Amino acid sequence: MARFLILLTLVFASALHARQVDVQNVGASESEVARLQSQVEPAFSHVKTQTGVDDQLDLQLVVVGGSRSFAELAARDGVGMHAESVLGYAQPGRRRIVLNLSGIRDRQLEPIGVLRHEIAHLVMGSALRVERPLWFEEGVAQYVESVALNELREAAGASPWLDFDNLADLDQALREEARAGAAYIEAREVIRLIVERFGESRFFKLMKRLESGDGPFEKAFEDVTGDSVATFENAWLEDRAGRAGERYAGFFGRNFWWLLLGLTALIIPLALVLARMRGKTQIDQWEETEKYFPSDPSWSYTDDEPAGYTPEDPDAWKQ
C-alpha cells in the first residue's frame, strides 16, 4: 500500500510539473501542426542530449502556414531581416516560438529541424546566464538542429563560400541578410570544431559554466578548454582554409565530366572558326599572287607532243 501511495505521489507530481504546450495554428494544415506538437518534448530531449542544458518551463508554439501572415506576425514582434528569409524565431522572455512553414517548405527543409533550432534558442535564452557572442548562440542552435536532410539541402543549395576574417566578422555576418546564409552554416562548423577539438564533455562543461552565470564568456571558454578565444580563432581559420580546399577539390571531382563537356563545347566551335579563317587566309594569298603573277596557259607549259598524237591511239603518229 505504501509503495502504491509513493508511486501515485510521483505520478501526481510529474503531472503537476509536466510542460504545458499552448499551440496556435495560423493558416497551417492540422496534420502539420499535430506532427510538430508531437515533436516538442522529443526536441527538448534532443537539445539536452546535445548540450547538457534543459528546462521544464511551459511553451507557446505558433505555427504559421502563409508567408504574409508570418511577415505580419514577425513585424509585430519586432523580428529583424526580411520576414520571408526567416524560418522561425524564439522569444525566451515570452516562452514563445513562431515557425514559418511557408519558408520551410520553400527551402524543402524538415520542419522538425527548425523546431529543434528554435527550442535550442529558447533553452539557452532561459537557462544561460552569461552573455555570449552571436556566433556561439547561433552555432549551438545550428549544431543542435542536426537534421541530415536539411544539411544535404543546404549543400545542394550551393551556398556561396564567403571569407570571414575572424569570429567578430562571422558575428557581424549573422546580422547581415546578404551573408547570413553562409554565416549560419559556418557557425555550426565552429561549434563542431569546439566539440571535436576539446571533446563533448568539455563542451557540456562550458554550457554548464554559462548556465551557472560564471563569466564572462571569454574567461569561461579559456578556463574550460584551456585555449583562449583568440587561440581557438586561429585554429578555426586553419580548419576553414582546409575545408575550402576540400570544397574546391570536391567541386571539380563532382563536376569533372560536366566541365570536360563544357570545355569540349567551347573547343570544337573555336577549332572550326580557326580552320575557316585559315582557309580564307590561304585563298587571300592565292588571289594576291594571281594579282602580281597572273597565270597564262600559253607559257605555263610546253606542248611537246608530236603531230597526230591522240590519247586514244598514242602510236598513230608513227604511221
Domain final position from 108, 127, 146: 127
* 256 lies in some domain: no
User: Which pTM was predicted?
Assistant: 0.72
Query: Domain check: are 169 and 151 in the same one?
Result: yes
pLDDT value at residue 16: 47
Query: Domain check: are 238 and 212 in the same one?
Result: yes
Cell 529558447 locates to 122
* 312 lies in some domain: no
Query: Domain check: are 106 and 196 in the same one?
Result: no
Contact 63, 102 (CB under 8 A): no
SS3 of 22, please? Answer: strand
Cβ-based neighbours of 175, under 8 Å, separated by 6 or more: 80, 134
* 6 lies in some domain: no
More confident residue, 161 or 130: 130
More confident residue, 185 or 3: 185
Query: Domain check: are 120 and 141 in the same one?
Result: no
Query: Domain check: are 175 and 87 in the same one?
Result: no
Query: Domain check: are 121 and 177 in the same one?
Result: no
Structural domain that includes position 215: 132-247
Number of domains in the chain: 2
pLDDT value at residue 278: 65
How far, in Å, CA of 165 to CA of 293, rounded?
A: 71
How far, in Å, CA of 317 to CA of 319, rounded?
A: 5
* 222 lies in some domain: yes
